[in-house]
C-alpha cells in the first residue's frame, strides 16, 4: 500500500501531513501527486469527498518551496466556485504549509478590497480566489497574472453550473502559456471536456471511479409522499422531515448525530430552518444571500458540533469538507441530477457510513428519472413515518363543502350595506321634497338694470337676467319657475 512518504513530497510537508493524522493517500491523491510533482498537467476526475484538495495542495507547496514572490504577481493560482470552497482550500494550505515560509492570499466576496490589496502588494506565493473577485482585482489594475507558474481549477463542473466558464477562459488567457495546469472535477460534461482540450497540454488523466457514481458507504433512501393538494407539499415534507429526524435519532445503531438539509431555493432554506427552530431543533440556514461573516460562523458551528442541523442551498453542496456528517436530506429533489451526487457526498466520507434521504412528491418524477439515469441505479424506497391527520391522502373538498364555507365580501360592499347609526339625523324622503307648492303666478318685475350689463351678459354667450321674453330662465324645470326660486335670485341681486 502506498504511503505519503513514497510520493517524493517535501519533508516539511510530510511532517505537516503526519500532524493532521493522515498516513495513507486516497486513490486520487496517489494518482495525481506524482505527475503534479513532475510539472505535468493533470486532469483529475473523482467524486466529492475523495481528497481532491490535497491532491493539488501538497505538490504545490513542494514545488513552490524554492523561489520568492513579487508584489502583485502571485506564483500560483487556485480558482474555486464558491467562497466556502475557496476558504476551505486556504485552510488546507495553512495546515500543510506550516513548516514553510510560503504566503497566501484569499480573494472572495464579502471582504473589503483594501485588505486584499494589502496582501497582494506584499507578494503572495499562492492566490486562492473565486473567478468574479479575481477579475475585479485584475480590472482595477491591482493584480498581474503573468508570473503564475501553477494554475488549479477546482470543482470545474460546479463552475459550469454557475456560469463561470467564460470567466475561466478569460483567466486562462491572462496566465502564461508555460504554466502547469491541475484541473479537477467530479463529472465531465461536454463543455468541461472542451475546456480541457483547449487549455491543458497532454494531461495525465486520473479517474479513480466511474463518473457520476455514488459512494457505497452511503445508504440512499427515497421517501415518497402524495399531498392532498400541490400547495400542501412543502408543509407535509416539513412534517415528514421532523418525523424522520425523531425516528433516526432514537436508533440504537448508527443514530442521527447531525444533518445537512438541502433545498433548491433560498426562500425554502429560510422557511425550513425557521420551522425546525420553531419546533425546538438546533438549526441554522446558509445560502448566498447571507453575509460572509454569518456564513462562516454557521459553518464553523456545524463543524465543531455546536450546530446540529445545517439547512443549505447548493452553495454548500460542492467540495466542502465537513467531517462526520451522519445524515443528508434532500428536502427538494435537485433539478440537476449532478447535484444529487454532490449533495449526498457530504456524508459517508473517508470510509465512514452515512445515510441520505430524498423527499419526493409526484411532481418530482422527471428529476428522479434523471438521477437514476445519471447514477445508473435506482434509489431504494423507504417508509414514510408521517401520517396525515385523518390518515391517508384524503380527497380535496367537494363543491358543496366549499359552498358551506363563509365567503368574504369586499370592504366597499360592506360599507354600502352597513346600517346607519340610530343617532344619525333623518333624511327627508323624496316625497317631502316634491310636496313644495309650485305657484304659476307671474313673478314680480325686478328693477331694470342698465343696458351695459345686459350687453356684457349677451357677449359672454348667456342671457341677461331681465330677458323675460326669451324663454324659461331655468332649464329643466318646465315652463314655469317656482316662486321661491325666483324670489331668492331677485333678493340677492337687489342686495348687491
Count the neighbouring beta carbons within 10 Å of the beta carbon of residue 483. Answer: 16
Residues 142 and 117 sit within 8 Å (Cβ to Cβ): yes
Nearest Cα neighbor of 263 from 281, 288, 243 is 288
Q: What is the DSSP letter of 420?
A: P
Q: Would you call 428 exposed, middle or buried from its count of C-beta atoms within 10 A (0-12, 13-18, 19+)?
A: exposed
Band of pLDDT at residue 140, cut at 50, 70 and 90: very high
Is 423's pLDDT higher than 50? no
Please state, in angstroms and rounded to a whole number, the distance separating the CA atoms of residues 50 and 474.
98
What is the secondary structure of 86-139 as a DSSP string? HHHHHHHHHHHTTTS---EEEE-TTS-HHHHHHHHHH--SEEEE-HHHHHHHHH
Confidence (pLDDT) at 41: 97
**Cα–Cα dist 63/252, whole Å:** 49
Specify whether the CB–CB gap between 104 and 90 falls below 8 A: yes
Cell numbers standing for residue 230: 400541490
Domain 4-207 sits in CATH at 3.40.50.300
Backbone dihedral region for residue 348 (phi beyond 0: left; psi -120 to 50: alpha; all else: beta): left
Instruction: Using pLDDT thresholds of 50, 70 and 90, give the confidence band for residue 247.
Output: very high
Residue 242, CA distances (Å) to 246, 385, 454 in order = 6, 10, 92
Selection from 66, 62, 4, 75 nearest residue 36 by Cα: 62
- Quick one: pLDDT at residue 237? 97
Number of residues that this document lists for the chain: 496
What backbone phi and psi angles, to 5 degrees, belong to 21? Answer: 100, 0
Residue written as cell 498516513? 23
Examine the pLDDT at 148 and tell me if it is beyond 90: yes
Residues 155/184, Cβ–Cβ less than 8 Å: yes
Q: For residue range 448-476, what is the model confidence (pLDDT) as tens digits?
A: 444 545 555 444 444 444 444 445 554 55
Handedness of CA 443, 448, 451, 453 (dihedral sign): negative
Segment 245-253 mean pLDDT: 92
Residue 491 clears pLDDT 50, i.e. is over it: no
Please tell me the distance from the alpha carbon of residue 9 to that of residue 7, in angstroms, as a whole number: 6
Q: Tens digits of per-residue pLDDT, 299-340?
A: 889 989 999 999 998 865 565 678 789 999 999 999 988 889
- State CA 345 to chain mean position distance: 20
- Identify the weakest region by mean pLDDT among 48-62, 183-197, 404-418: 404-418
pLDDT tens for residues 229-241?
Answer: 999 999 999 999 9
Separation between Cα atoms, residue 57 and residue 44, nearest integer Å: 13
> Left (φ > 0), alpha (ψ -120 to 50) or beta: where does 324 sit?
left
- pLDDT(377) > 50: yes
Is 4-207's fold the same as 218-390's?
yes
Domain boundary assignment for the chain = 4-207, 218-390, 438-495
Cβ neighbours, 10 Å, residue 226: 14
Neighbouring C-beta atoms of residue 32, cutoff 10 Å: 30
Q: What was the pLDDT predicted at 261?
A: 96
Residue matched to cell numbers 496517489: 30
Note the pLDDT of residue 392.
52
Residue 69 is predicted with a pLDDT of 84
- What's the confidence (pLDDT) of residue 212? 63
Q: What is the pLDDT of residue 408?
A: 47
pLDDT of residue 68: 84
Largest CA distance in the chain: 130
Interval 371-384 mean pLDDT:
92
Work out the average pLDDT over 289-298: 86
Asked if pLDDT for residue 341 goes beyond 80, the answer is yes
The CATH fold of domain 218-390? Rossmann fold (3.40.50)
Higher-confidence position of 405 and 346: 346
- CA–CA separation, 331 and 273 (whole Å): 11
Q: How far apart are CA 399 and CA 273, in angstroms?
A: 36
pLDDT score of 63: 94
Query: Distance from first CA to last CA of the chain, Å, rounded?
Result: 121
What share of residues in the chain are helix, strand, coil (percent, to 5)? 45, 15, 45
- Does this model's pTM top 0.85? no
Amino acid at each position: 500500500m502506498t504511503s505519503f512518504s513514497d510520493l517524493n513530497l517535501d519533508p516539511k510537508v510530510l511532517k505537516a501531513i503526519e500532524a493532521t493524522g493522515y498516513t495513507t493517500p486516497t486513490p486520487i491523491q496517489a494518482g495525481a501527486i506524482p505527475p503534479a510533482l513532475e510539472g505535468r498537467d493533470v486532469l483529475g476526475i473523482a467524486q466529492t469527498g475523495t481528497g481532491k484538495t490535497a491532491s493539488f495542495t501538497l505538490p504545490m507547496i513542494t514545488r513552490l518551496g524554492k523561489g520568492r514572490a513579487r508584489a502583485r504577481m502571485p506564483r500560483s493560482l487556485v480558482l474555486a466556485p464558491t467562497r466556502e470552497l475557496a476558504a476551505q482550500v486556504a485552510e488546507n494550505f495553512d495546515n500543510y504549509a506550516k513548516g514553510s515560509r510560503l504566503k497566501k492570499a484569499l480573494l472572495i466576496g464579502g471582504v473589503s478590497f483594501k485588505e486584499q490589496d494589502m496582501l497582494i502588494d506584499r507578494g503572495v506565493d499562492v492566490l486562492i480566489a473565486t473567478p468574479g473577485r479575481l477579475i475585479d482585482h485584475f480590472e482595477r489594475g491591482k493584480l498581474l497574472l503573468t508570473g503564475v507558474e501553477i494554475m488549479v481549477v477546482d470543482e470545474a463542473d460546479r463552475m459550469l453550473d454557475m456560469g463561470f466558464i467564460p470567466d475561466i477562459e478569460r483567466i486562462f488567457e491572462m496566465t502564461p502559456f508555460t504554466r502547469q495546469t491541475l484541473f479537477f472535477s467530479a463529472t465531465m460534461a461536454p463543455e468541461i471536456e472542451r475546456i480541457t482540450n483547449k487549455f491543458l497540454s497532454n494531461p495525465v488523466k486520473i479517474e479513480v471511479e466511474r463518473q457520476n457514481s455514488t459512494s457505497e458507504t452511503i445508504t440512499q433512501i427515497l421517501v415518497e409522499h402524495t399531498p392532498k393538494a400541490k400547495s400542501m407539499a412543502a408543509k407535509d415534507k416539513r412534517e415528514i422531515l421532523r418525523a424522520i429526524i425523531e425516528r433516526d435519532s432514537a436508533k440504537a445503531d448508527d443514530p442521527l448525530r447531525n444533518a445537512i438539509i438541502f433545498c433548491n431555493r433560498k426562500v425554502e432554506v429560510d422557511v425550513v430552518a425557521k420551522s425546525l427552530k420553531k419546533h425546538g431543533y438546533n438549526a441554522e440556514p446558509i445560502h448566498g444571500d447571507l453575509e460572509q461573516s454569518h456564513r462562516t460562523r454557521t459553518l464553523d458551528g456545524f463543524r465543531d458540533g455546536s450546530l446540529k442541523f445545517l439547512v443549505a442551498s447548493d452553495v454548500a453542496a460542492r467540495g466542502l469538507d465537513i467531517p462526520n456528517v451522519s445524515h443528508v436530506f434532500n428536502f427538494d429533489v435537485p433539478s440537476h441530477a449532478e447535484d444529487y451526487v454532490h449533495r449526498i457526498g457530504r456524508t459517508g466520507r473517508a470510509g465512514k457510513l452515512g445515510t441520505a434521504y430524498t423527499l419526493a412528491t409526484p411532481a418530482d418524477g422527471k428529476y428522479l428519472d434523471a438521477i437514476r439515469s445519471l447514477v445508473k441505479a435506482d434509489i431504494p424506497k423507504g417508509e414514510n413515518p408521517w401520517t396525515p391527520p385523518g390518515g391517508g391522502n384524503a380527497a380535496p373538498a367537494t363543491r358543496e363543502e366549499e359552498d358551506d364555507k363563509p365567503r368574504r365580501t369586499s370592504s366597499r360592499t360592506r360599507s354600502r350595506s352597513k346600517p346607519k347609526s340610530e343617532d344619525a339625523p333623518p333624511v327627508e324622503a323624496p316625497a317631502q321634497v316634491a310636496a313644495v307648492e309650485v305657484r304659476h303666478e307671474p313673478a314680480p318685475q325686478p328693477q331694470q338694470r342698465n343696458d351695459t350689463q345686459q350687453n356684457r351678459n349677451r357677449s359672454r354667450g348667456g342671457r341677461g337676467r331681465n330677458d323675460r321674453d326669451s324663454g324659461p330662465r331655468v332649464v329643466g324645470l318646465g315652463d314655469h319657475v317656482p316662486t321661491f326660486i325666483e324670489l331668492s335670485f331677485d333678493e340677492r341681486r337687489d342686495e348687491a
